[in-house]
């Protein structure tokens, strides 16, 4: 039986998640059978779930565009990339055995590891950590001009704010409200499309949203940026997840992908590649201009609206700080009943492979960072 026949047969045993919380349903009572990836050294067929619509996971965009994996995977291997409009879509596909490696934000990555009764998924590396990739507050254009981001947060007292509930933006916004003692009149569970139409129709006071949609709404003149995670010292993050059966059967493939991922992150962090990254993202994500996409990762914002010198840092490994951030996010997800455990199982986080890759390549964490650049740098090769 071929790999793909094995995959179809075994994936049929995986219970598909139903929509709830983050869009990921309750796990099946029966553990789905492992997929068959062949023997170490054999060519492998991989399907990668990734999000060009979430800037912090753009090493996946670079991986698809530059094909760094070809240098490391066994000869004859094939890789297909599948776009997920949100992380929950990727998680469901990985649980069902339709995707094997996933690029996603912290919330869906954490949720994926709690569905081991359906399929065993592990977080194996950090894509990036920042303060304003997911953690961004936007306000309607006629909002007052604020002296700093905290004034902007306080203005939300008694206002109507749209937030995709259960997302990283949700956790950030609620922490910002708690720290500044703010009580909005209404927090509405709205997706990106509804938030966009709400600003366009003048029916929304504010929203918590992530990049690159935040940059698109600002560039289109539909909203103003007023604060970020830097305003209230709240970080966001993206993670690389793998199915445990892939790691177990094909450690050669798992390590090969991490080597390629390291190349992708180093490419992303090099400022001379900024325009090429924006061009690749424009090819893979619809509805955005190259300038919007460039600005979402490399653009510079004033400090008074949450701008910071470093847009994203690449720890690559699961450092103690990253693990602490994961634990904080897991506790939030437990509090809103999106997961049924307050702390992740010990083997949900697998740092050994990423740490070994760094050691073998004489690198240490963090491997790089994306520094904010003024608009005058846009368009320069």
pLDDT tens-digit profile of 82-132?
A: 999 889 999 999 999 999 999 999 999 999 999 999 999 999 999 999 999
Instruction: Identify the three-state secondary structure at position 298.
Output: helix
Instruction: Please tell me the least confidently modeled range out of 120-124, 195-199, 377-381.
Output: 377-381
H helices within the chain, ranges in order? 3-11, 59-66, 87-95, 106-112, 149-155, 168-180, 192-201, 213-219, 229-232, 244-249, 251-269, 274-284, 290-298, 320-335, 352-360
Domain ranges of the chain: 3-129+236-377, 136-232
Q: What pTM was computed for the model?
A: 0.90
The predicted pLDDT at position 351 comes to 97
Are 3-129+236-377 and 136-232 the same fold in CATH? yes
The CATH architecture to which 3-129+236-377 belongs is 3-Layer(aba) Sandwich (3.40)
Q: Classify 136-232 by CATH class.
A: alpha beta
pLDDT tens-digit profile of 207-245?
A: 999 999 999 999 999 999 999 999 999 999 999 999 999
CA distances from 251 to 50, 73, 126, 246 (A): 21, 11, 18, 7
């Amino acid at each position: 039986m071929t790999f793909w026949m094995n995959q179809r047969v075994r994936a049929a045993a995986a219970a598909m998640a139903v929509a709830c919380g983050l869009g990921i349903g309750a796990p099946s009572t029966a553990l789905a059978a492992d997929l068959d990836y062949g023997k170490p050294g054999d060519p492998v067929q991989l399907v990668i779930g990734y999000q060009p619509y979430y800037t912090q996971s753009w090493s996946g965009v670079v991986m698809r565009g530059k094909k760094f994996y070809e240098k490391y995977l066994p000869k004859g291997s094939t890789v297909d990339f599948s776009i997920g409009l949100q992380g929950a879509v990727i998680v469901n596909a990985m649980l069902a055995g339709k995707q094997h490696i996933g690029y996603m934000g912290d919330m869906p990555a954490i949720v994926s590891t709690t569905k081991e009764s359906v399929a065993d998924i592990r977080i194996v590396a950090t894509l990036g950590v920042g303060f304003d990739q997911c953690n961004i507050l936007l306000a309607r254009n006629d909002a007052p001009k604020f002296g700093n981001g905290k004034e902007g947060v306080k203005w939300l007292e008694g206002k109507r704010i749209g937030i995709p509930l259960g997302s990283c933006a949700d956790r950030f916004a609620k922490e910002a409200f708690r720290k500044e003692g703010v009580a909005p009149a209404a927090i509405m569970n709205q997706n990106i499309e509804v938030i966009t139409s709400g600003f366009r129709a003048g029916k929304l006071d504010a929203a918590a949203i992530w990049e690159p949609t935040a940059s698109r709404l600002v560039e289109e003149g539909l909203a103003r940026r007023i604060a970020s995670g830097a305003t209230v010292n709240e970080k966001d993050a993206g993670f690389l997840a793998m199915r445990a059966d892939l790691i177990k059967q094909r450690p050669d493939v798992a390590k090969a992908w991490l080597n390629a991922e390291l190349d992708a992150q180093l490419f992303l962090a090099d400022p001379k590649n900024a325009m090429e990254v924006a061009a690749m993202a424009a090819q893979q994500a619809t509805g955005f201009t190259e300038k919007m996409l460039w600005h979402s990762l490399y653009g510079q914002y004033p400090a008074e609206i949450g701008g910071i010198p470093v847009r994203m840092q690449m720890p690559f490994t699961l450092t103690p700080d990253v693990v602490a951030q994961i634990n904080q996010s897991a506790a939030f997800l437990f509090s809103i009943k999106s997961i049924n455990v307050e702390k992740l199982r010990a083997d949900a986080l697998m740092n050994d492979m990423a740490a070994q890759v760094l050691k073998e390549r004489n690198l240490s964490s963090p491997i790089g960072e994306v520094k904010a650049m003024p608009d005058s740098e846009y368009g320069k090769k």
